[in-house]
Structures are given as C-alpha cells and as structure tokens.
Structure 1
Amino acid sequence: MAALLEVRGLKAFYGQTQSLYDVGFEIESGGITTLLGANGAGKTTTLRAICNMVRTDGSIRFEGRDLKNMATEEIVRLRIAHVPEGRGTFTTLTVDENLRIAAYTRKDKSAVQTDLERVFTYFPRLKERVQQQAGTLSGGEQQMLAIARALMLKPRLMLLDEPSFGLAPLIVVEIFRIMRRINEEEGVSMLLVEQNAALALDLADHAYVLETGRVVMSGPSDEIKNDENVRKSYLGY
C-alpha cells in the first residue's frame, strides 16, 4: 500500500523547548499505526504537529501535499480528523448538535443526514441519547461521541489520542472493536496514541516507539510485540 502520510525529520517546539527530534514515520493508506512510549515521550506532540498546532520544523506530507504552512482548519478540510485526549466535545450541546457541527467543513450537506445514520450503526448508544447534552453522557459515551464526530468529517486519516483513557476495561474493548470495524468497513487510516500498549499492538499493523522525542524502534506490530525490551517496558511480562 502507498504511504498516505509521510513524516521526515520532524522537530517540534513549545516556546524555546524542543519536544521532538528528527522523528520520521509513515502511515499506509488503509493501515493502522500506533505510537508507543512513556508519558512525555512526545506522542501527543506528534499528533499536534501533524495538525500544525505547535511550532515545527521538518516535512509532513499527506497524499504528497506539504502540510507545513497550512492552518489547522485547512488540514481538517483535507479530511484529517483529530480526536484529542480528553474527548473535546461541546458539553452544553446535544449529541445531535455535536455531530452536525463536526460536518461544518463538508460541501455535501445533503449527505450529512445519511452519514448520521451510518455513524449510529457503529454507535447505537448515541442514537438512544441523540437529544441528550454531551456533558451528561458517561465517559465511555463521550469517547464514542468524540470518535463519531471525527467520522462525520468522512476522514481519510484519524488521529486518536489515548481513546482508552479513564474508561472501564469493558468499554475500552468495545471502543477498540468499533475502531477496527471503522478501519475495515470505511477504509479509514488511523494513527493511534495509546498507553495500553497491548491493546494498541493488537489493533495496529505497524508500530513506532518514542523515547524523549525520538523514534527508537519501529516495525510490524507483531515484531514489536515480541521484542523483549518492549515486553518488559510496556507489556509487563
């Protein structure tokens, strides 16, 4: 498969503090890639850098297009959907309003209702709560809403930051199962940042390990999963 996203020599900065050092990776069209690493390794910063939310240097190309000087809203219009840590839903709006706002960049307005129904096939629980304020949903339902909002963009690429954070294990399993379905049925590529390395490696087909802002290991997920250092550091056995 051809590379959908290519990152080369990526550096990122918060003020004068450098956070990423010559990070490079690829995401294949239709593939799922995961970034592993301890807290502070630079995983979230990498997602923000792709969306031009932090100061960067280096090359980020999506379908051959240079993202470096694009505004974040222009990057969204390329159908790159960012699901941030903490979900980022509009808590005072209803589920329906959150989903419709997410489609504001789309030109095919007539298809939005059809896509709402399609999203509800993945998240039937949200359909049951369609007129409920987002802030009154459970943590798991809010995470489902965050992913559903991203789907309303009809994304080519989803950037997912810690989708399991703070959720009960059974809810996490359900959300990861839905993410697998979205990838297989919609052909949506994914870049996943996830503290639960075992879950991430089971879902992804390729993995990169970050340490202090540098890629220190990469390869097919099965190979990374069987690496002794990864097992000891991230998988606990």
Structure 2
Amino acid sequence: MTAMLDVSDLRAWYGQAQALRGLGFRLAEGGVTALLGANGAGKTTVLRAICNMVRTAGTIAFEGRPLTGLSTASIVRLGIAHVPQGRGTFTTMTVEENLQLGAISRSDRRGIISDTERMYSHFPVLRERRRQQAGTLSGGEQQMLAVARALMLRPRLLLLDEPSFGLAPLVVRDVFGILGKINREDKVTILVVEQNAQLALELAEAAYVIETGRIVMSGSAADIANNEDVRKSYLGY
C-alpha cells in the first residue's frame, strides 16, 4: 500500500530535554499501525510532533506534502485528527454540541447532519446520551465521544493516544472493535499509541516499538506479537 505518512530523522524537544532521537517510520494508506513502548519512551511525543505541538527537527510528509512549518490548525485541515490521552472532551457541553464542534471548520450542513447520524450508528450509546453533558458520561462513553468528534472532521488519518486508558476491559474491547469497523468501512488510516500491546497488535497490521525516543523494532503486527522480547516486555508471557 502507498505510504500516507512518511517520517524521517524525527527529533523533538521539551525545552532542553530531547524526547525523540532521529526516528523514522511510514504509515500505509488505509492501514492500522500500532506504536508500542513503555511509559516515557516517546510515543505521545510522536503524535504531538506530527501535529506540530512540540519543537521538532527532521521530516514529516503527509501524502507527499511536508508538514514542517505548518500550524496545528493547518495540519488538521489537511485531514489529520488527533485524539489525545485523557480524551479532551468539553465537559460542560452536550454530546451533540461536542460533535458539532468537531465539524466547526466545515460548511457542508447536509454532510454534517449525515456524519452526525453516522457517528450515532458507530456509537449507539452517544445517541442515547446526545442531550447529556459530556462531563457526566462514563470514561468509556467519553472516549467514544472523543473519537466521534475527531471523525466529524472527516480525517484521512486518525491519531489515537492511549484509547484504552482508564477503561474497563469490556469497554476497551468495544472501543477497539469500533475502531476496526471505522478503519474498514470509512477507510480511515489509524496510528494508535497504546499500552495494551495485545489489543493494539490485534487491531493493527503493522507495528513499531519505541524505546528512549528511537525505533528499536518494526514489522507486521503478527511478527511483532510473536517476537519473544516483545512478548516478555509488553504481552506478559
């Protein structure tokens, strides 16, 4: 498959502290890629770097277009949506208001109405809660809302940071099942940063393992899942 995102020699800093140290990877268009690693390895920084939310050097190209120097808002308009760790929903707004906010840069009213219904189809519980304030939702419902709001942008690439964080195992399974459906039916390319390596590798076709700001392993999700070092470090067997 064609590479949608091509990252080369990516470095990133928080002040004087360097978080990424020349890593590179490619995302296949229409695929799901998992980025695995321990806490503090640099996974979240990779997503922030793609969206120009941290100081970076190196090359990031989306569909052949360099992202260097573009504002975060401009990157979003190109078709890249980011669901940060902690979900980031607007807690005092209703579910439906959050969804409308996700489409704030769009002017196609009919398309927005259609996409809102599509989100309710993907996440039926959000239809039931559509008049409810986001802050009163459960953690799983808030995660679903965060993903749905990002999809209202009609992104071509969805960046997900720890979508399972703080969720009960059954809810995590539901969320990951929906993400797989979105990838298959809506053809959204997904890059998922995830501590639950087993679930991430079940969802993904390809995977990268990051340690101290560097890629140390890459391959198909199946090969990574069968690697003894990965099994011991991340899968627990």
The Cα of 1:201 is off from its aligned counterpart by 0.5
User: 1:226 maps to what in 2?
Assistant: 226
User: 1:56 maps to what in 2?
Assistant: 56
The Cα of 1:105 is off from its aligned counterpart by 1.4
Query: Structure 1 stretches (4+) deviating beyond 4 angstroms?
Result: none
User: 2:25 maps to what in 1?
Assistant: 25
User: 1:37 maps to what in 2?
Assistant: 37
Q: C-alpha distance in 1, partners of 2:24/2:178?
A: 28
User: 2:209 maps to what in 1?
Assistant: 209
User: Is residue 159 of structure 1 aligned with residue 171 of structure 2?
Assistant: no
User: 1:107 maps to what in 2?
Assistant: 107
The Cα of 1:115 is off from its aligned counterpart by 0.6
Deviations 1:56-78 (A, max 9, x none): 00000000111010000000001
The residue type equivalent to 1:140 in the other structure is: G
The Cα of 1:107 is off from its aligned counterpart by 3.5
The residue type equivalent to 2:88 in the other structure is: G
Q: C-alpha distance in 2, partners of 1:202/1:115?
A: 27
Q: C-alpha distance in 2, partners of 1:105/1:29?
A: 24
User: 1:65 maps to what in 2?
Assistant: 65
Q: C-alpha distance in 2, partners of 1:94/1:30?
A: 31
The Cα of 1:79 is off from its aligned counterpart by 1.2
User: 2:140 maps to what in 1?
Assistant: 140
The residue type equivalent to 1:118 in the other structure is: R
The Cα of 1:108 is off from its aligned counterpart by 2.1
The residue type equivalent to 2:223 in the other structure is: E
Q: CA RMSD in A?
A: 0.6
Q: C-alpha distance in 1, partners of 2:211/2:106?
A: 38
The Cα of 1:189 is off from its aligned counterpart by 0.3
Q: TM-score scaled by structure 1? A: 0.99
Deviations 1:71-91 (A, max 9, x none): 000000011000000000000
SS at match of 1:18: strand
The Cα of 1:46 is off from its aligned counterpart by 0.2
Q: C-alpha distance in 1, partners of 2:73/2:142?
A: 23
Q: C-alpha distance in 2, partners of 1:29/1:215?
A: 20
SS at match of 1:57: strand
Identity %: 65
User: Is residue 183 of structure 1 aligned with residue 188 of structure 2?
Assistant: no
Q: C-alpha distance in 2, partners of 1:79/1:107?
A: 15
Which sections of structure 2, spanning at least 5 residues, go unmatched? none
The Cα of 1:110 is off from its aligned counterpart by 2.7
The residue type equivalent to 1:204 in the other structure is: A
SS at match of 1:99: helix
The residue type equivalent to 2:142 in the other structure is: Q
Deviations 1:122-158 (A, max 9, x none): 0010000101000000000000000000110111000
User: Is residue 87 of structure 1 aligned with residue 87 of structure 2?
Assistant: yes
How many equivalent residue pairs? 237
Q: C-alpha distance in 1, partners of 2:135/2:205?
A: 34
Which sections of structure 1, spanning at least 5 residues, go unmatched? none
